Structure 1
Amino acid sequence: MQLFLPVFYQAGAVTRLATQKLHSEFSMTKAKWGSLGLSVLVVIALVVWMATGDIKEARNEAPDPIGAEPKALTSVQVRTINARLHEPGILLQGQLDPWQSVSVSARVSGTVQSIEADLGEQVQENDALLQLSDDGREAVVARWKARVRKLDADLAAARTLRSNNLASQSELMNLESELAAAKAELASARLAVEYLTPRAPFAGVINSKTVERGSLVQAGSPLFELVRIDRLKATGQVPQQSVGQVSPGQRVTVDLLDGEQLSGIVTFVASAAAPQTRSFAVEVAVENPDLLRVAGGSASLRIALPEVKAMFISPAYLSLDDSGRPGVKYIDDENRVVFGTVRLLSVSTEGAWVTGLPDEIQLITRGGGFVGVGEKVRPVNVADSQG
């Protein structure tokens, strides 16, 4: 009996070990199937959620709060501007001078016997200005006339004798030389008489007079200053960046200080710049039919350039982009803000003429500083806002 007890206990232990092993494997199998089933259920749930739920996309901006209203567009005031033909010009400060100015001087000495033209008087070309004393000059002319007549007769007789071989060739040549010298003296004497009456070299106005009746003058003494003012000469300096646009024949408007206007034509443009100013001299022929007393004064010159399409806007609407170029803000067909760069043709207190924009734009006249390029806005027309 005692012999079988250990065997019995060994068999029971083996039975218990087998039972525990089966229980353990059953538990592991059950856990494995439970995990697998849970995984399957999660996958099925994901598929159903993706099929029926919303698909979200990643965005850089935070989503609007639930229930928030969309942002309102900024209102800007606009005005319709259309391009039109404009004649640009180059503005210069100029000087007006008489077209011709000369100092009439005495060519012979003498005493002033009479004044034929007074200050401010309009004279014509070749009009007598004064009369100097003769001082025996007419007698000199008469003497040389007689001398020339005598030599003419002597020369004619010598030629007759020479044809008969009664006079030598040298005698004939001597008489011819004396006659030529006498004629030259006669011409000089006649000029001296002619110079006793100084005359106007061109039509103009007596601007100054330095002699009176009874004055004794010497050859070279100034008598009158004669100026021509029915046409004036305007001079100015063109900057080197604009000289390529100027050439003879272009029209010029001359604005006088009193508001009067004259018209002229460019007659000369310098080929080399002045070294001090780096600008080019220009001369303009200005018509002055009313003989306005403006010679010697200053004036504004506007040299006309070819016509171009341009817009006239207030300088207040001009601004600069990031590169420092001038331009304006306007809206396109989609009501988005556009910055258009422009080229300034002229600027004044009344406005600026500019090019570089479309033929018609909706110019932003108010509110442009609060909107950026590319931003969509709500335009309000000036006429609508005023109505």
Structure 2
Amino acid sequence: MNNANDRLLSLAGVGAVLGGALLLAGCHGKPDEVAEMPPQTVTTALVAMRELKGGQSASGRLLPQEEMAVAPDLSGFRVARVLVEEGAAVRAGQPLALLDDSLLQSQVRQLEAQLMQQRVAAEQARDQSARVAGLDNEGVLSNEAIAQRRFAARNADAAAAATRAQLDDLLVRRAHLTIRAPFDGTVIERTVRPGDTASVGTAMFRMARGGLIELYAELPERDASRIHVGDVAQVVLASGRTLDGKVRLLGERVDAATGLMIARIALPRDAELRAGGFAKARFAGARAALSVPDPAVNYDADGASVMLVDGGSRVHRVRVVTGEHSGGFVELRRGPPAGTRVAVKGAAFTLDGDKVKIAMATGH
């Protein structure tokens, strides 16, 4: 019994010693520290001026090279017939629509009858005037009667001439009741229907001269200086087809609201070209631009950014505005100046302020 008690007391003492040791360790000892992660390895490149080839592009609408609205010269006449539809290729002078001429026809017939009567009267007056020729102061007729016959002949001629002028005016108006194409071209819009009432200044048709459609490409003012009349451009249509075009004209005005100007790109005739359509142009040639390698730019919900590498091998995030992409490089339209070193490969795995290990520095 005494031996068993001695063993229990001995075990209790050992436990107390161990407990005290653990307690002392907890109070005075230090836990194992977490091992620090090694710095992210990155490659770097310089922000520099580089030649970007064929990277410039612009988009815009397809519009007629020369467009004209076709409107009637007379108001109040009903449209009797419409002779063409949108897309029709027409020749200069070809009838497009006919206005009802029944009102003018009756007036024309009235004036024709009146003119005929006046011509007969004028002929009679001239005959009577001719009969008194040489009878002045002869006593056969008074000088007053002779003068009256001569005045009557001239008056009859004047009346006939006035009626002839009125008739000519009606005939001209009647001719204008046929709406004709002003030039060779394509009808790109028809807004008139049979039964409509014509109104001066209200377009019935819109036409493209020669059927030529071109791209009105919108360019930022800073880019327009790199484009010249005669430059070749590849125009990509909405369907994906590509047409070869050429810069025909550069606009002289910059839009005050958007800062954009227009480059008009001439295109060949093609059935797929429709006024109002959308297309994109890619311009040939090279230009110098401040740029970095494509992988150096990171994109997130806030936009594009690059990671600058300072002299202490720490990175700092800087927001940028990018432009064209070409040959593995991206243009920086707004961002750090030339000569700044940025992280390239591995940059996406770093945070602002991280220390990095530079694996390979390059000026590319």
* TM-score for the superposition, normalised by structure 2: 0.52
Q: Does the C-alpha gap of structure 1 residues 110 and 92 become closer, same or farther in structure 2, counting only changes over 3 Å? A: same
Shift of 1:176: 7.6
Matches of 1:174 and 1:370, distance apart in 2 = 110
Q: Does the C-alpha gap of structure 1 residues 173 and 93 become closer, same or farther in structure 2, counting only changes over 3 Å? A: farther
Greater relative contact order (CA < 8 Å, ≥ 6 in sequence): 2
Shift of 1:259: 0.8
Shift of 1:177: 6.3
Q: Secondary structure of 2:174's partner?
A: helix
Corresponding position of 2:59: 93
Corresponding position of 1:8: none
1:240 aligns with 2:221: yes
Matches of 2:147 and 2:227, distance apart in 1 = 74
Larger radius of gyration: 1
Shift of 1:133: 2.4
Corresponding position of 1:126: 93
Q: Secondary structure of 1:138's partner?
A: helix
Corresponding letter in the other structure for 1:255:
V
**Structure 2 alignment gaps of length 5 or more:** 1-42, 44-50, 137-145, 298-305, 311-321, 332-343, 347-356
Q: Does the C-alpha gap of structure 1 residues 275 and 175 become closer, same or farther in structure 2, counting only changes over 3 Å? A: farther
Shift of 1:226: 3.3
Corresponding letter in the other structure for 1:129:
L
- Alignment map for 1:342-381 (pairs within 5 Å): 346-348=324-326, 351-352=328-329, 369-372=358-361
Matches of 1:347 and 1:232, distance apart in 2 = 29
1:102 aligns with 2:69: yes
Count of aligned pairs between the two proteins: 254
Q: Does the C-alpha gap of structure 1 residues 119 and 242 become closer, same or farther in structure 2, counting only changes over 3 Å? A: closer
Matches of 2:361 and 2:53, distance apart in 1 = 34
1:256 maps to which of 237, 240, 257: 237
Q: Secondary structure of 1:217's partner?
A: coil
Shift of 1:352: 4.1
Matches of 1:291 and 1:141, distance apart in 2 = 45
Matches of 1:308 and 1:191, distance apart in 2 = 60
Corresponding position of 2:277: 297
Corresponding position of 2:341: none
1:315 aligns with 2:294: yes
**Structure 1 alignment gaps of length 5 or more:** 1-75, 77-84, 324-343, 355-364, 375-387
Shift of 1:189: 0.6
Matches of 1:251 and 1:95, distance apart in 2 = 18
Corresponding position of 1:188: 169
* Percent of aligned positions that are identical: 19
Q: Does the C-alpha gap of structure 1 residues 190 and 321 become closer, same or farther in structure 2, counting only changes over 3 Å? A: same
Shift of 1:304: 3.9
1:284 aligns with 2:265: yes
Report if aligned partners of 2:71, 2:200 keep a CA contact under 8 Å in 1: no
CA deviations 1:225-246 (Å, max 9, x no partner) are 3343832132233222223233
Shift of 1:268: 3.1
Q: Does the C-alpha gap of structure 1 residues 206 and 94 become closer, same or farther in structure 2, counting only changes over 3 Å? A: closer
* TM-score for the superposition, normalised by structure 1: 0.49
Matches of 2:362 and 2:89, distance apart in 1 = 67
Matches of 1:186 and 1:225, distance apart in 2 = 30
Q: Secondary structure of 1:235's partner?
A: strand
Q: Secondary structure of 1:266's partner?
A: strand
